[in-house]
Amino acid sequence: MKRTKIFLIPLSDKDLIDVRLTTEKKEIVGFVLYYRAKFEDVWYQIYRVDTSHGYLHEQRFWITPEPIALPKFADFSLKYVFDFYLRRIKEGYQRYRQCYRERMGVRNDI
């Protein structure tokens, strides 16, 4: 039986990771990690990595909303991939935020 957990990981008062984790028999069978940031009281999609649409892909919204396939992880467990990208987002969210702000011309909150 598949189970889905949905929860938030706050990174700051203006940065969040939305998480959707689907498991079956205690193993990850699907996930969504969705980083969003708040600028001037509006939340923006910044970065997403997930297994929706039947394959692992990422979206860097400051470049394009189109999914970018991640075939290099095909031989890894989804647990490994989930942990890898969760850590990557936590460590790099400020850089992602800055890239989005600069590319999209969004003003920073003061």
Model confidence at 3: pLDDT above 80: yes
Supply the range of the domain harboring residue 39: 2-102
Assigned domain for 27 exists: yes
How many domains are there within the chain?
1
- Over range 81-95, report the average pLDDT: 97
Q: What is the pLDDT of residues 97-110, one digit of tens each?
A: 999 999 988 876 65
Assigned domain for 110 exists: no
Assigned domain for 107 exists: no
Assigned domain for 81 exists: yes
Q: What is the pLDDT of residues 14-63, one digit of tens each?
A: 999 999 999 999 999 999 999 999 998 899 999 999 999 889 999 999 99
Assigned domain for 89 exists: yes
Q: Give the CA distances from residue 96 to residues 14, 15, 38, 90, in Å, rounded to whole numbers and listed in that order.
A: 13, 11, 13, 10
Specify the pLDDT at position 108.
66
Specify the pLDDT at position 79.
96
Assigned domain for 109 exists: no
Assigned domain for 39 exists: yes
**Cα gap 29→91, rounded to integer Å:** 24
Nearest CA-CA partner of 33 in 81, 104, 97: 81
- Over range 74-94, report the average pLDDT: 96
Strand partners, 2: 24
Specify the pLDDT at position 66.
93
Assigned domain for 66 exists: yes
